[in-house]
């Protein structure tokens, strides 16, 4: 039996919302997203730059966060950001597990892994590389493709994950029309990869 963490902490929450997972392995499944504020990875194409400054977002306790999730008929919680691993997430994930949730995380992997996770999605970024020790923990590697040079970069990280890890290539949204056919061609030549599309943007849901 896992004992509860002894400390009481808060984390900055930019937003929390119930929707469907729009990308990656769990695409199409109902999920409650908890977006934490704070990020120093600095992706130039980030579509939630308002999350970067943690001081702009209210601090919430684990109880407040869990109570928010319990308002919805959902089993999966996705902790994302910003960069969620900037914070120790042991207490938050313990509370979510105690409430019966499946805990998923979306992270760049640039900080030490904390928390108890049922699914770890690492999306490596060139602006701040993932820690090598995090890559073998990934259930899913999701590489955002901005230009053709990103394929070689994606292979670099595919070589560092475990053999069961799901591999996804996802076009950066602003270049999706151009890059998606290129990604399709690459996957046809390298079928270990799968295509991830941000379907939530196509169907206009959060």
pLDDT 10s digits, 138-186: 999 999 999 899 999 999 999 999 999 999 999 997 888 889 999 999 9
Q: What percent of the chain has pLDDT over 70?
A: 89
Contacts of 128 (CB under 8 A, 6+ apart): 40, 41, 42, 108, 110
Question: Domain 10-202, what fold?
Answer: TIM Barrel (3.20.20)
pLDDT at 43: 64
The reported pTM is 0.91
Instruction: Indicate the Cα dihedral angle 183, 189, 190, 191, nearest 10°.
Output: 90
> Structure tokens of 58?
């209210």
- H/E stretch holding 147 reads none
6 has pLDDT over 90: no
With beta carbons less than 8 A apart as the criterion, state whether 119 and 140 touch. Answer: yes
The 3-state DSSP class for residue 102 equals strand
7 has pLDDT over 70: no
Q: Where are the alpha helices (DSSP H) in 9-86?
A: 62-69
72 has pLDDT over 60: yes
C-alpha–C-alpha distance, residues 27 and 20, integer Å: 7
**Phi, psi of 144, deg, nearest 5:** -80, 125
189 has pLDDT over 90: yes
Higher-scoring residue by pLDDT: 128, 182 = 182
Mean pLDDT lowest among 23-27, 51-55, 125-129? 51-55
C-alpha–C-alpha distance, residues 157 and 147, integer Å: 17
pLDDT at 117: 98
With beta carbons less than 8 A apart as the criterion, state whether 16 and 33 touch. Answer: yes
Domain boundaries, the chain: 10-202
> Among 168, 198, 206, which residue's Cα sits nearest to residue 22?
198
The 3-state DSSP class for residue 194 equals strand
Neighbours of 97 (CB within 10 A): 18
C-alpha–C-alpha distance, residues 106 and 142, integer Å: 9
Give residue-wise pLDDT tens across range 31-60.
Answer: 999 999 988 776 665 666 666 677 889 999
pLDDT at 55: 80
Q: Where are the alpha helices (DSSP H) in 5-44?
A: none
């Amino acid at each position: 039996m896992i004992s509860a963490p002894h400390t009481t902490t808060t984390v900055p929450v930019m937003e929390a919302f119930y929707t469907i997972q729009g990308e990656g392995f769990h695409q199409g499944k109902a999920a409650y997203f908890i977006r934490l504020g704070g990020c120093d990875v600095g992706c130039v194409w980030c579509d939630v730059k308002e999350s970067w400054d943690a001081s702009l977002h209210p601090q919430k306790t684990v109880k407040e966060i869990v109570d928010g999730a319990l308002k919805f008929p959902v089993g999966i919680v996705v902790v994302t950001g910003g960069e969620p691993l900037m914070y120790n997430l042991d207490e938050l994930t313990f509370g979510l597990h105690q409430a019966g949730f499946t805990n998923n995380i979306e992270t760049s992997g640039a900080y030490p892994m904390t928390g108890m996770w049922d699914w770890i999605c690492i999306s490596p970024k060139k602006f701040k590389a993932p820690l090598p020790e995090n890559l073998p923990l990934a259930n899913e590697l999701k590489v955002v493709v901005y230009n053709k040079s990103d394929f070689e970069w994606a292979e670099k990280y595919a070589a560092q994950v475990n053999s069961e890890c799901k591999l996804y290539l996802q076009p950066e949204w602003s270049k999706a029309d151009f890059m998606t056919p290129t990604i399709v061609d690459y996957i046809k030549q390298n079928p270990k990869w799968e295509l991830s599309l941000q379907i939530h943007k196509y169907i206009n849901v959060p």
